[in-house]
Chains A and B, each alone.
Chain A
Amino acid sequence: MARAVTPRRKALVTVLAWTIGLALFFPILWTVILSFKTEGDAIASPLTVLTTPFTLESYHVVQDRSNYFLHFWNSVVISLGSTLFALVVAIPAAWAMAFVPGPKTKDLLMWMLSTKMMPAVGVLVPIYLLFRDLGLLDSRIGLVVVLMLMNLPIVVWMLYTYFREIPGEILEAARMDGATLKDELIHVLTPMAVPGIASTLLLNVILAWNEAFWTLQLTTSKAAPLTTFIAGYSSPEGLFYAKLSAASTLAIAPILILGWFSQKQLVRGLTFGAVK
């Protein structure tokens, strides 16, 4: 039930909320604006920058000089690959835990969660040496495996919280109507599970895309995703604001769009169902 609000109060809240919202968004907006400027214009004072002409020059330079789309593609392969592998392993596990819960299910879930609490730096040394010996340093497959294992607990947990909400009675009703196991799976359960699987996929692609510990440690050039590629701008030569902005804009745009769709799932997924 909405409570009565005076128009004056609503106007005041509107001004305040928009001011804070725009202030928090400003660094992103500024990056996008600078990406359309020349290097010389990009370092001018903010009010001057706004009066300079727009150009696509930086986008061309970023692609021509550094093969930007190789790194973009690496990010796609690594984030999507690790998520899909995690789903293949996690869907049966979450399914079994949600529909055939045993006395140990809860302990098992908590144990999986505990693996996520382990700080990455605790296993940095052995993973690095293992990768070096197996020739997996700077390889996409190596990162796919690491990120898959890193996000597996979150994937299992998210799927579990979704699957648990599918009412078991529906299955019994379908069985009473003479549905076979195959009918049950294809016509009853799958349609109910797809939205949960899709949101899990979305959130984990985002997490893997932005992962910046293992990607920075384990890749240098040919398998480098955008996180590593952009870290290279920390010690650049000459003017680089416009190029950095163009590379950054391309790196964050797809995830911002996916992210805005996934707000609800974000809360649920990252709090392991503790806040819904």
Chain B
Amino acid sequence: MSTQASRTAARLMISPAVILLLGWMIVPLAMTLWFSMQRYNLLMPGMGGFTGFDNYSYFLTDPAFFDAIKNTLVLVLGVLAITTVGGLLLALLLDQPFWGQGIVRVLVIAPFFVMPTVSALVWKNMFMNPVNGVFAHLAKSIGLQPYDFLAQSPLASIVLIVAWQWLPFATLILLTALQSLDSEQLEAAEMDGAGPISRFFYVMLPHLARAITVVILIQTIFLLSTFAEILVTTNGGPGTASTTLTYLVYVQSLLQFDVGSGAAGGIVAVVLANIVAIFLMRMIGKNLEN
């Protein structure tokens, strides 16, 4: 039973976390909003002043912005497609009985724990390098010309690297959800004459719908912030071929020192992420009801 006294105590216990998060969210976000309406270039200290939405129109009409939006979409959707479909198939496979289940699970989950800079550099050098990489050696051994992955298909190569990191996450979550499926339900469907395909579509998939949605939404949030993999492999290039929105904001504000336009880009990123976040929050909020 909560009394008035315990309510007050509870409030005291919660307030440090709330105050810190408020400070972390509101203060910098307000500053970003403020900078985004200022003429503010670190290389031109004297040139300050309010410019309204100039930074936004500059950022939004920059050809690099369209490339960045396109690349962000390709990266996020590409990785999502590979990881959800691959993760679903892999989860279905790993849910079957076989010898060495524990060990295979450990092998499959491992890439998720590799730090982004390591996985990107390992793929870039040891695998995709056109001279010394494993793929180049394989191509040469069967008489093919080695392919320069990061120069010729930079974005697709990054999608591959990031998908390798996130496939374990999707697999693990879908496997967990699959294992919570009541096996009696499957057996009942089987007795009613449902084949493996209709069992998958009418029993398993509806049960997994929620987990799949969660995988998609959570990965989207993280994928929108992909940064290290681009920085250490292509630096966003060649040209802007692999520049995403996150990377473009970094280039504008910290490499070209245009704080105002970088801040405007940051606000654009926040708005886009919020659209995804609203759906995710609804899903998780429903779970709190029970």
Contact = CB atoms under 8 A, between A and B. Distances in A.
A201 B82 CA distance: 31
Interface in B202-245: 210-211, 214, 218, 221, 224-225, 227-228, 231-233, 245
A168 to B, nearest CB: 10
Nearest to A254: B113
Interface string A70-105: 000000000000000000011011011101111000
Interface residues of A, number: 100
A10 B14 CA distance: 52
Contacts of A241: 125-126, 132
A28 B114 contact: yes
Contacts, number: 313
Interface residues of B, number: 110
Interface stretch (B44-52, B57-65, B103-111): B103-111
B3 to A, nearest CB: 9
Interface stretch (A57-65, A118-126, A182-190, A192-200): A118-126
A215 B175 CA distance: 32
A267 interface: yes
B142 interface: no
Given A22-B107, A27-B123, A256-B113, A234 B231 contact: yes
Given A18-B104, A234-B231, A119 B246 contact: yes
Given A28-B111, A260-B106, A210 B116 contact: yes
Interface in B239-282: 245-246, 249-250, 253-254, 259, 262-263, 265-267, 269-270, 273-274, 276-277, 280-281
Interface of B: 2, 6-7, 9-11, 13-14, 16-18, 20-21, 24-25, 27-29, 31-32, 35, 90, 93-94, 96-101, 103-119, 121-127, 131-132, 134, 137-138, 140-141, 164, 167-169, 172-173, 176-177, 180, 183-184, 187, 210-211, 214, 218, 221, 224-225, 227-228, 231-233, 245-246, 249-250, 253-254, 259, 262-263, 265-267, 269-270, 273-274, 276-277, 280-281, 283-285, 287-288
